[in-house]
Structure 1
Amino acid sequence: MAVAALFAIGALLIWAFGSIAARLIGALIIFEGLLRIGFTGPRPLSVAILATGVAAWLLGHWIWAYKHKAWRTRLALNAYSLPGLHHLAPIGTNHAPHPTVKWPS
């Protein structure tokens, strides 16, 4: 019973503060990853830190969009409008499919 209560409290905290926390933490991790790449070059750990930061930042915007049915920033809308990533978006994006080219036969 206590585990279920802790799980419920955790879910409520993530729902209430998860968006801003993930975006801020993601931005800090991105900054650290960029600094590491700048000082040491693109080593696997530096790139992994950068990718983790981008994932956390995207998660924060995903939570915001799901809750508010709107994109928090234009950058998030553009990021989720990219090919492939638009499938993960919880709301509509600016994604426009590329027309298929028909060659004359």
Structure 2
Amino acid sequence: MAVAAIIAVAALLIWGFGSIIARLAGAIAVFEGLLRIGITGSTPAAYVILAAGLAIWMTGHWIWAFKHKAWRTRLALTAYSLPGLHHLAPIPTNHTPRPAPDTAVWPSKH
């Protein structure tokens, strides 16, 4: 019973404060990853921190969009409008599908 209560409280905290915490923590991690790449060079740890920061930042924007039915920033809308990522978006994006291959018939030379 106590585990269920802890999960319920955690879910309420994530719902209430998760988007801002995730966006802030993600931005800090992205900044740290970029600093590590700039200072120490290309190390696997720097890229892992950078990727984790991007994932955390995008999760924060996902929570915000799901909750408020709007994108918090234009950058988040653009990120979730990318091919492939638009499938993960909880609300519509600006994604425009790639046009079908050109099947037009060339006019004959008369």
Indicate the TM-score class for this superposition, using the shorter chain for normalisation.
Answer: over 0.9
What SS does the corresponding residue of 2:11 show, helix, strand or coil? helix
In the TM superposition, residue 101 of structure 1 has moved relative to its aligned partner by 1.8
Deviations 1:73-95 (A, max 9, x none): 00000000000000000000000
TM-score for the superposition, normalised by structure 1: 0.96
**Matching residue's letter, 2:3:** V
Task: List aligned pairs for 1:1-105, cutoff 5 A.
Answer: 1-103=1-103
Q: Distance in 2 between matches of 1:79 and 1:41?
A: 26
Alpha-carbon offset, residue 42 of structure 1 = 1.6
1:23, CA displacement in angstroms? 0.1
Task: Note the residue ranges of structure 1 that are not aligned, 5 or more in a row.
Answer: none
The aligned amino acid for 1:45 is A
Query: Which residue identity does 2:53 align to in structure 1?
Result: G
Q: How many residues align?
A: 105
Q: State the superposition RMSD in angstroms.
A: 1.1
Quote the sequence identity (%): 69
- Secondary structure at 1:100's aligned position in 2? coil
SS at structure 1 position matched to 2:97: coil
Structure 2, unpaired ranges of 5+: none
My pick for the range that moved more, 94-103 or 34-43, is: 94-103
Distance in 2 between the 1:63 and 1:56 partners?
11
Which whole-Å CA distance do the structure 2 matches of 1:94 and 1:77 have between them? 7
